[in-house]
Structure 1
Amino acid sequence: MLKYEIILYWSDLDQVVIAEVPELPGCKTHGDTYEEALAMAQEAMQAWMDVARETGRPVPEPKGRRLMYA
């Protein structure tokens, strides 16, 4: 699988860990733990890429580096 940056953070509002993949627009999921959210992010990335390929949309190459610093 291609290696994209995954951002994990706790959501007080939802009481779950959010996992976002900034390089894949709209690719976001969650889990009860950081480990679960990370596993869900892997599944979400694969699904995102599968749908993009099926619909003829380009799949961006991962940048291979951190996208931003807080």
Structure 2
Amino acid sequence: MEIKIMLEEAEEGGFTVHVPSLPGCISQGDTLEEAINNIKEAIELYLDDGPEDIPVKGKIMNIEI
């Protein structure tokens, strides 16, 4: 399964990461690798009832500015 995540560098250091298609699915880590590993675990817990329960709201797009 492939899912889009959004990573942001925190001002105080480390990274915050969330999954736009899974409301409330958010994690963090001191390093990029730790943040990605943590969000993978959070996604697994979120989807514990099965991937068919993923809410579909909106659309994520890349735009050029």
Same fold (TM over 0.5): yes
What fraction of aligned residue pairs are identical, expressed as a percent?
Answer: 32
**TM-score of the superposed pair, with normalisation by structure 2:** 0.75
**Higher RCO (CA < 8 A, seq sep 6+):** 1
For structure 1, list consecutive stretches of 5 or more residues without a partner in the other structure.
none
Q: CA deviation at 1:60?
A: 4.1
In 1, Cα distance between equivalents of 2:39 and 2:61: 19
Query: Given the two structures, how large is their TM-score scaled by the length of structure 1?
Result: 0.70
Q: Which runs of 5+ in 2 are unaligned?
A: none
Runs of 4+ in 1 over 3 A off after TM superposition: none
RMSD: 2.5
